[in-house]
Amino acid sequence: MGFVSPLQSFALQAMLFFSMIFIPQHALGGITRHYHFEIKYQNVSRLCHTKTMVTVNGQFPGPRIVAREGDRLLIKVVNNVQNNISIHWHGIRQLQSGWADGPAYVTQCPIQTGQSYTYNYTIVGQRGTLFWHAHISWLRSTLYGPLVILPKHGLPYPFTKPSREVPIIFGEWWNADPEAVIAQALQTGGGPNVSDAYTINGLPGPLYNCSAKDTFKLKVKPGKTYLLRLINAVLNDELFFSIANHTLTVVEVDAIYVKPFETDTILIAPGQTTNVILKTKSQYPNATFLMSARPYVTGLGTFDNSTVAGILEYEVPPHSLSSMKKLSLFKPILPALNDTSFATKFTNKLRSLASSQFPANVPQKVDRHLFFTVGLGTSPCQQNQTCQGPNGTKFAASVNNVSFTMPTTALLQSHFFGQSKGVYSPYFPISPLIPFNYTGTPPNNTMVSNGTELMVLPFNTSVELVLQDTSILGVESHPLHLHGFNFFVVGQGFGNFDPNKDPSNFNLVDPVERNTVGVPSGGWVAIRFLADNPGVWFMHCHLEVHTSWGLKMAWVVLDGKLPHQKLFPPPTDLPKC
């Protein structure tokens, strides 16, 4: 943590005081907030292993960004490490400001060693919990932090005002260097080594060896409500999360309010955020409670099946004898690692708030129907190599059988300057070129094709996209993340999507709106969105290993006619390749 001098502290308070008192409400398009992100090395120890990791400002997890709806953020990122860097503001719409979105070689060239870039964007029409993370290779394993958007001044939450708000960000820890882990996997064609621990706010907790001192503790008082801002910044695993003896009320996902519902356990995929209300027991309970998370896994490969835990601790009332008693510790019961039935029930409970103040603007008509398969496959082994993927091949992954090849220059620049020739093809397939029984007996040929293919949409196209899992290398849940938009999850099911039967069951009234959705294992999900944000927008599986294997593609949304329907010109400090 940085040291805050009394003078700085005074300045900070003066600033808060100033922004709270002297800015007239009606003038609030919002204020400009400045952050400085210095990418630097820091030695960090967990599980009795010390390693030199890439951090922001020496902090792990990285600093918390707190802003209000309507604010402009200016975040200067200075790269002082040997790696190329880019930072993504996950879930931020980036209306007209695609240059600030962050995925390397998609919206920008990386920030190279010694260079800097100022991300410049306004938060429009969004409030809730999001996060930021590196968007190049596997550097997000250490470069991530919460991004909290408070409602505009004077606007309440549509739920009980919490006495305190606590970000809880899940991460994944390797004793080894994660960059070496993925480099080795891509070289051999096999699966990457699994992580050594999951973390809560950077801490693995008491269930791992040599880790008890690195435990996140949430200290609470009886009879209060707390807003927990849960963020899954793990690389490769969806998580179940639960707190012993406490019920959680889900009120928001991916920075969109939902109809509140109670649950003992939540499911959260990488790239997703979930706000829950924790109501503490009315009386001091003479006990402490574990809060734990472990994965929900559907694939065949090896995975980190460990459990991360933090502790919910009631503050001892003053003048009580309780402090002398030994407190009992309760542990939550989490669903089985493969509990798809729980996953389905949980996701079916998520509904948009759909109130007059927070309406669900679900596109009711569809201009373009698209059908994309997502899943794993194989690519050939180089002639003089032995590969560790299935049958001596290399693992690959694809969308509509196209495994995405990263260009060596940024797609957004190529598009903006009309220089896409030789960089990308604008003809991403609208459906699989060779249809097959997607969830049936796997086809003989598991090889994927590859290319840099984009889907081009005129401004304001209303899109319905069905994402269909495949069984080519075994069915698996894939959390798909779309940049630049929120979408409505209008339907989902198991087996193959049936275009004649399934749409009649779509929810076009209050479907959940989000930016990352789990494609059910061996099933499909249908989403709708309005392409009202010009730019180039990445879409990819948020299981990082699948992204590395090519489960990614990009959209080009063309400018509209009006001035506010056009992509801004590029900033002058935009990095070059």
Ligand X SMILES: *[C@@H]1O[C@H](CO)[C@@H](O)[C@H](O)[C@H]1NC(C)=O
Q: Which residues of this chain interact with ligand X, rule CB under 6 A?
A: 41-43, 52, 74, 84, 109-110, 112, 120, 245, 283, 285-287, 305, 321-322, 325, 330, 336, 338, 340, 379-380, 384-385, 390-391, 437, 440-441, 444, 446, 450, 473, 568, 571, 577
Q: What type of residue is 336?
A: A
Q: CB of 439: closest distance to ligand X in angstroms?
A: 6
Question: Minimal distance in Å, beta carbon 341 to ligand X?
Answer: 8
CB of 358 to Cu ion, least distance (A): 30
Report CA torsion sign: 457, 258, 226, 25.
positive
Which residue of the chain is nearest ligand X when measured via CB? 440
Comparison of 558 and 577: residue with beta carbon closer to ligand X: 577
Instruction: Identify what 358 binds: ligand X, Cu ion, none; CB under 5 to 8 Å per kind.
Output: none
Q: Which does residue 66 touch among ligand X, Cu ion, none (CB within 5 to 8 A, set by kind)?
A: none
Supply the minimum distance, in Å, between the C-beta of residue 545 and Cu ion: 8
- Residue 543 interface partner, choices ligand X, Cu ion, none, CB cut-off 5-8 Å depending on type: Cu ion
Minimum distance from CB of 465 to ligand X (Å)?
Answer: 21
Alpha-helical (H) ranges within 5-71 are 6-21
d(CA 396, CA 389): 9
Asked whether 198 and 306 are in contact (CB, 8 A), the reply is yes
Q: Is the dihedral of CA 246, 250, 251, 252 positive or negative?
A: positive
Alpha carbons within 13 angstroms on the beta-carbon side of residue 129 total 26
| Cα 207 off chain centre by | 25
Question: CA 429, CA 408: separation in Å to the nearest integer?
Answer: 22
Mapping DSSP to helix (H, G, I), strand (E, B) and coil, where does residue 390 land?
A: helix
Contact of residue 427 among Cu ion, ligand X, none (CB under 5-8 Å per partner type): none
Q: How many residues bind Cu ion (CB under 5 A)?
A: 4
CB nearer to ligand X: give 104 or 527: 104
Going by C-alpha positions, the residue among 471, 424, 465, 476 that lies closest to residue 443 is: 471
| Cα 180 from chain centroid (whole Å) | 23
Longest alpha-carbon distance in the chain: 76
Q: Does 541 bind Cu ion (CB under 5 A)?
A: yes
Q: Using CB under 5 A, which residues numbered 333 to 392 contact Cu ion?
A: none
Query: Quick check: 396 binds Cu ion (CB under 5 A)?
Result: no
Distance CA 220, CA 463 (A): 45
Residue number with CB closer to ligand X (72 or 164): 72
* 220 forms part of the interface with Cu ion (CB under 5 A): no
120 touches, from ligand X, Cu ion, none (C-beta below 5 to 8 Å by class): ligand X
Chain residues 508-527 in contact with Cu ion, contact rule CB under 5 A: none
Interacting stretch for Cu ion, rule CB under 5 A, among 192-200, 205-213, 403-411, 474-482? Answer: 474-482
C-alpha 406: how far from chain center: 20
Least distance in angstroms from the C-beta of 112 to ligand X: 5
Q: Give min distance, CB of 120 to ligand X, in A.
A: 4
Q: CB 477 → Cu ion: shortest distance, Å?
A: 8
Residue from 543, 553, 567, 574 touching Cu ion (CB under 5 A): that is 543
Our CB check for Cu ion shows the closer of 62 and 518 to be 518
CB atoms within 10 A of CB 451: 15
d(CA 77, CA 143): 12
The conformation of residue 16, written as its DSSP 8-state character, comes to H
The interface partner of residue 541, options being Cu ion, ligand X, none and the CB cut-off 5 to 8 Å by kind, is Cu ion
Q: Closest Cα partner for 310 from 289, 279, 329, 330?
A: 289
φ and ψ at residue 322, rounded to 5 degrees: -60, -30
Backbone torsion region of residue 484, taken as left when φ is above 0, otherwise alpha when ψ lies between -120 and 50, otherwise beta: left
Which amino acid is it at 307? T
> Residue 546 binds which one of Cu ion, ligand X, none, with CB within 5 to 8 A depending on kind?
Cu ion
State yes or no: residue 478 binds Cu ion (CB under 5 A): yes
CA distance 316 to 285: 10
Asked if 482 touches Cu ion (CB under 5 A), the answer is no
Interacting residues with Cu ion (CB under 5 A): 478, 541, 543, 546
